[in-house]
A = this chain, B = another copy of it.
Amino acid sequence: PELLCIFGTGDLGRSLGLRLLQSGYRVVYGSRRPHSCGPLPQGAQVMSHAAAAQSASLIFICVHREHYDFLETMASHLERKVLVDLSNNLKKGIYPEANAAYLQRLVPGAAVVKGFNTLSAWALQNGLLAGKQVHLCGNSAAAKQAVAEMATKLGLTVLDKGSLSAARELEDFPLQLFPEWRLPLRVALGLMAFFFFYLLIRDVIYAYVEQEQDISYRIMVSLANKVFPIVSLVMLSLCYLPGVIAAFLQLYRGTKYSRFPDWLDRWMLCRKQMGLVALGLALLHAIYTFIIPIRYAVRHKLISRVVDEMKNNKTTPFYFDDTEAWGTDSFYVLGILGFFLYVLLGLTSLPSVGGTLSWREFSFIQSKLGHLTLFICTAHGYIYGWNKFLRSSTYKWYTPPGYMLCLIVPSVVLVLKVILLLPCVDRTLTRIRQGWE
């Protein structure tokens, strides 16, 4: 079997060597101190850098960029070798040059290939490679080909990103921190801030100003338990709005072959993350609701109501209001069913579950059951306010309560979706999506 060389016996060097040995290669390490370099994978040899470089034509540089200078001194040993640069940096833009370009400059006679830097030593050690995609770039096609073949043997899928000028991009990649989650999280935070202050004014400050009551303790639970479900519902409807907009756009244009505007494309690509953030908020809403009865304020209110009652000998509130019983129970049931479907949507978006579903099954759950979820959650919101819409005391300081505001977008989405489901519209749309123009 072929012999490969690895410079550096650190975390990455060791894990990579292990995997190469497992895939049938022979491995030789180049190290500063070949005789005291910690435990290496069984079957590997370790030598000085120069000796190790001699024996192999492909060398992995598993050393931090900060220590690359020693390579310059041994450039002559590296003539015509393929050097794979796997290095990452701690932050973006701390060096003017990409690490791989710097390496190429140090060793002009070698063919530098940048790649594998997205793999983690930990994943390599634990064999979590199957089907993972790695990006490569480099100026020499032959060198890239050699590296790509080796990667394929390790079970990786290779994607060629062109010449070494793409190295910077590859080096910035592992420094990303949830890029697709940013927009959804920002939208969620923005909505939460808005509704928090809106409700703070309407509930707490209003009571303080108009009734001189200090009910600020409600912020922790009661108010949060309005903000979370409200934002969750809005985010849920924002998941389904772009699909509806896209459909109307296609209907209007009469073709599916023109591109969507950029903002719509970007919106559609973060629907998954939007939905998951909405799920997180719905989960919080559910837990907040479950603990309502153990709260001090709630227990206090219950007890003092009874005591008041007895003391003043009022009996008014104690007849059993059947409508109220039906109303609140339906309200809870809709919430529970909505939440259940929400969890189902979340489960199918787990990569391993979604991956076992056929496309039709996935879109049945995400699209059909998703709209049903939206419908049920919206109904939950409507029934919550069923007897409050017409009461003028609802509109403190002439502002509508939070749940009314949050019902607007879902209602619009649902109405538009119903229009799209009308047989005539649906037929036209299906034909357009089949490719007719």
Q: Whole-angstrom distance between the alpha carbons of A17 and B350 in the complex?
A: 26
A318 interface hit (Cβ, 8 Å): yes
Residues of chain A at interface, number, CB under 8 A: 99
Q: Whole-angstrom distance between the alpha carbons of A3 and B284 in the complex?
A: 53
One digit per residue, 1 when the CB lies within 8 angstroms of any chain B CB and 0 when it does not, for chain A 231-252 equals 0000000000000000000000
A187 interface hit (Cβ, 8 Å): no
Report whether B329 and A217 are in contact in the complex, using a CB–CB cutoff of 8 Å.
yes
A407 interface hit (Cβ, 8 Å): no
Q: Whole-angstrom distance between the alpha carbons of A131 and B157 in the complex?
A: 12
Q: Whole-angstrom distance between the alpha carbons of A262 and B24 in the complex?
A: 30
A209 interface hit (Cβ, 8 Å): no
Report whether B133 and A131 are in contact in the complex, using a CB–CB cutoff of 8 Å.
no
Q: How many copies does the complex hold?
A: 3
Which residue of chain B has the shortest Cβ distance to A303 in the bound complex?
B306
Q: Whole-angstrom distance between the alpha carbons of A39 and B258 in the complex?
A: 10
Q: Quick one: given A38-B259, A307-B306, A360-B176, are A160 and B435 in contact (CB under 8 Å)?
A: no
A325 interface hit (Cβ, 8 Å): yes
Residues of A within 8 A of B (CB): 10, 22-24, 37-39, 63-64, 66-67, 90, 118, 120, 122-123, 127-133, 148, 155, 157-160, 173-178, 214, 217, 220-221, 224, 257, 259, 280, 283-284, 286-297, 299-300, 302-307, 309-310, 318, 320-322, 324-326, 328-330, 332-333, 336, 339-340, 343-344, 350-353, 355-356, 358-362, 364, 430, 434-435
**Given A22-B159, A221-B329, A307-B310, 14 more pairs with CB closer than 8 A:** A22-B160, A66-B435, A90-B434, A120-B358, A120-B362, A217-B326, A280-B340, A288-B336, A289-B294, A295-B329, A295-B332, A296-B324, A296-B329, A303-B309
